[in-house]
Amino acid sequence: MNAAAPGAGPALEQLIKAQAYGLGFDLVGITSLGIPDTADAFDSWLARGYAGEMDYMERGAIKRRDTRLPFPGATTAIVVALNYDGTTPAGPIARYARGQDYHDVMGDMLGSLRTFIECQLMRPVCGKAYVDTGPILERDIARKAGLGWFGKNTNLINPRLGSFFFIGSLLVELDLEADKPFESDYCGTCTRCIDACPTDAFAAPGVLDATRCISYLTIEAKGAIPEEFRAAMGTLVYGCDICQSVCPWNLRFAQALTVSELAPRPATAGKNGRELAREILAMDDQLFRAAFKGSPIKRAKRRGLARNAAVVLGNTGDESDVPLLTAALEDPEPIVREHAAWALAKIEQGVRLEDIPR
């Protein structure tokens, strides 16, 4: 423990939290590492095939079952949250992906926090920062650190911030006093998130079948989007915020952006789904790299984003998009050609969506 003796000044835990807030994080908590409470649930989720093509989940499963394993000597996690603005209108790009890549932004901030700790202790500190990239169950340690509860939409929800925030963690070799876990669940009988999902992606409250989730289908899935889900995508080009947008905790407590690096970039700002889809489908690899350099959107690669764009144009059903889709039939990527052909068929049939998610 690092409790301060009388008159000795703030404890290290207090200093760390103050510095985390000073760096721009919105929440911070501390917890000890070990076997996650959700380890068994994670194993069950994998066994049921809900991870889909996300093979990295299985490859890192051993480490995910014990948060002390990422590096020798890891004992404590300093867990942080960074708001990415749930107050802006929904759109074709999920809110989290409209600005700079959050992995880089938060990674730099956590690096600064580690440097601060080393300065306080006047020695190197063995540690490792994770921002949605390492083999740890981040929601689990965030709940243990007191940051919130698991919502029925599987997101971590904080009673003062909602759920539009990133989770990051700094694993260290230090013996720090842990915060109390968040024990309450304030979802109650509400099922708005489950009811609003256009693809029925929730197998049960708090259990997501990723293979049916629009975020997974437009980002993680590398192959063809199953036809049964294409119409449900509406004008969503990358990701989906529907289950968060309808959450009462977000409707009431979502906060505006405070970190400028996460503000929407020109390639994503102020465009509806059809406008953005047309731009993307017309891009070659060079234009794609230029438009989305330093953006989380690059994860889908041009072929994935162009695939999604073709679906959106098929859903909007505007005949003026026929020349662009026809040109896409010659795209070097088979996956783009396939979805462009589907879109052209929909337009030819006169199929239009009456209720398109925006």
Residue 4 has pLDDT above 60, yes or no: no
Average pLDDT, the chain: 94
Return the half-sphere exposure (C-beta side, CA atoms, 13 A cut-off) of residue 236.
28
> What distance in Å separates the CA atoms of residue 127 and residue 174, rounded to the nearest whole number?
9
Question: What's residue 358's pLDDT?
Answer: 39
User: For residues 118 and 107, what is the distance between their CA atoms, to the nearest angstrom?
Assistant: 17
pLDDT, one tens digit per residue, over 228-261 is: 999 999 999 999 999 999 999 999 999 999 999 9
Residues near 242 by Cβ (< 8 Å), separated by ≥ 6?
Answer: 90, 196, 197, 198, 214, 357
- Give the 3-state secondary structure of the chain: CCCCCCCCCCCHHHHHHHHHHHHCCCEEEEEECCCCCCHHHHHHHHHCCCCCCCHHHHHCHHHHCCCCCCCCCCCEEEEEEEECCCCCCCCCECHHHCCCCHHHHHHHHHHHHHHHHHHHHCCCCCEEEECCCCCCCHHHHHHHCCCCEECCCCCEEECCCECCEEEEEEEECCCCCCCCCCCCCCCCCCCHHHHHCCCCCEEECCEECHHHCHHHHHHHCCCCCCHHHHHHHCCCCECCCHHHHCCHHHHHHCCCCCCHHHCCCCCCCCCCHHHHHHHHHCCCHHHHHHHHCCCHHHHHHHHHHHHHHHHHHHHHCCHHHHHHHHHHCCCCCHHHHHHHHHHHHHHHCCCCCCCCCC
With cut-offs at 50, 70 and 90, classify the pLDDT of residue 311: very high
How many Å apart are CA 202 and CA 145, to the nearest integer?
26
* Residue closest to 143 by CA, chosen among 81, 96, 189: 81
pLDDT of residue 70: 86
Give the pLDDT band of residue 338 (cuts 50, 70, 90): very high
Reported pTM: 0.92
Strand order in the sheet with 76-83: 27-32, 76-83, 165-172, 127-130
Instruction: Quick: pLDDT tens for 59-110.
Output: 888 888 999 998 889 999 999 999 999 999 999 999 999 999 999 999 999 9
Residue 9: predicted pLDDT: 60
Give the model's confidence band at 352: pLDDT under 50 very low, under 70 low, under 90 confident, else very high. Answer: low
In the chain the domains, ranked by start, together with CATH numbers, are 1-230+238-262 (no CATH), 265-358 (1.25.10.10)
Which pLDDT value is given to residue 3? 45
Neighbours of 55 (CB within 10 A): 9
Nearest to residue 176, comparing CAs of 133, 106, 121? 121
Q: What is the pLDDT of residue 268?
A: 85
Share of the chain above pLDDT 90, in %: 89
Q: Is the pLDDT of residue 336 over 70?
A: yes
Q: Is 132 a catalytic residue?
A: yes
Q: State mean pLDDT over 217-235.
A: 97
Close Cβ partners of 279 (under 8 Å, ≥ 6 residues apart): 267, 271
pLDDT at position 6 is 44
Under a CB-based contact definition with an 8 Å cutoff, are residues 187 and 151 in contact? yes
Q: Which residue type sits at 44?
A: S
pLDDT digits (tens, 9 = 90+) for 131-156: 998 889 999 999 999 999 999 999 99
Catalytic residue among 66, 108, 132, 179: 132
Asked whether 343 and 308 are in contact (CB, 8 A), the reply is no
Average pLDDT over residues 318-327: 97
pLDDT of 283 higher than 70: yes
According to DSSP, the residues that pair with 71 across neighbouring strands are none
Res 10: pLDDT: 81
Q: Report the pLDDT averaged over residues 273-289.
A: 96
